[in-house]
Amino acid sequence: MLRRSSTRCIARCSSRSYIRTAGALIIGDEILNGKTLDRNSNYFARFCFEHGIDLKRIEVIADDEDQIIEASRRMVDRYDLVVTSGGIGPTHDDITYASLAKAFRQPLSYHAETLSRMDALIRRGPSPAHQNEDQRTARKRMALFPHAAEVLFVAPDLWVPVVRLEGKLCVFPGIPSLFQKMLDNLKHHLPLPPLHLRPCRIQVYTDLPESSIAPHLATLQKRVAAEGIRIGSYPLLQRGVYVSLIGTNRDRVGELAHEVEKELEGRVVSEEEAEAKRRSGSA
């Protein structure tokens, strides 16, 4: 049976204050031993920035019950939105659901609709008739959730749901393509900040070395700090500097960007160009 419906969730979320802070818990031995590159925390950071959420903390921990229990409780206590990534597959070391059930003092129970969706997908693919009972039990573990959790089917073509506990901790798979698709679709279930509170970021590129622009940026930051505008500098090795200006007043950020552009003999660049330059290391 469906313990909590997404319709009830949306109604409840809309009555709450919007999300202000967030944390991310990346779970997996394969991240810590270097086998797998974590892309999910970066995607979540971008999601938070674009929607005006202040991402306060990202932690990477092992597939360890005690670590998951401690970290999840601490983050839920501190932040408005918490996501976990990883550890929800069918194998012995996929312990995220069981650990979270202990963390929030809930029994585990199979979720009927998830099992039904999973079986429907399997019926459309290769026959599972070759699986023995142990293998079928392993597969069903992916639908064994903390009993009081909300189960949110965020995309019609996915049987994997986002499982939410305590109204704020959302459990995601570790596969980046799934994580990204599910996070993008989850936003319809979240009380996001209003548009006027979402930040604007403008970047200015200059050929000048960072030491040459530091005095001007320090003075500028002091001048605009009371306006809630943040100034940052991000050098490329021996190839210039990107200056980032962030604030919710788009007109004011634009005005300051043009001031920086003139003062530092630079030019305003798009997010796409800045990202491409940083990746290539070229100017």
165-169, 239-243, 278-282 — which is least confidently predicted? 278-282
- pLDDT reported for residue 124: 64
User: How many CA atoms does the CB half-sphere of 47 hold within 13 Å?
Assistant: 25
Binned at pLDDT 50, 70 and 90, residue 276 comes out as confident
Asked which of 62-66, 197-201, 275-279 is least confident by mean pLDDT, the reply is 275-279
Instruction: Please say if the pLDDT value at position 258 is more than 60.
Output: yes
- pLDDT band with cut points at 50, 70 and 90 for residue 121: confident
Strands 200-206, 241-247: parallel, antiparallel or unpaired by DSSP?
Answer: antiparallel
Mean pLDDT of 271-277: 78
5 — pLDDT class (breaks 50, 70, 90): very low
Rounded percentage of the chain residues whose pLDDT exceeds 70: 89
Q: Which domains does the chain have, with CATH numbers?
A: 6-189 (3.40.980.10), 199-280 (3.30.70)
Which residue, 118, 93, 116, is CA-closest to 33?
A: 93
- Across residues 205-233, what is the average pLDDT? 96
User: Maximum distance among all alpha carbons in the chain?
Assistant: 71
Is it the case that residue 243 has pLDDT exceeding 60?
A: yes
- What sign has the CA pseudo-torsion 11, 14, 16, 19? positive
Cα separation, 114 vs 171, in Å, equals 14
* Mean pLDDT value of segment 229-243: 90
Per-position DSSP letters for 167-203, written without gaps between them = TTEEEE-S-HHHHHHHHHHHGGGS-PPPGGGS-EEEE
pLDDT band at 11 (very low <50, low <70, confident <90, very high): very low
Q: Which residues pair with 246 in a beta bridge?
A: 201, 230
Q: What percent of the chain has pLDDT over 90?
A: 78
Residues contacting 44, CB < 8 A, separation 6+: 22, 24, 55, 58, 83, 85, 183
Q: For residue 179, count other CB atoms closer than 10 A to its CB.
A: 20
Determine phi and psi for 31, rounding to 5 degrees. Answer: -75, -45
Residues facing 55 on adjacent strands: 22
Looking at residue 12, what is its pLDDT?
41
Whether the model pTM is above 0.85: yes
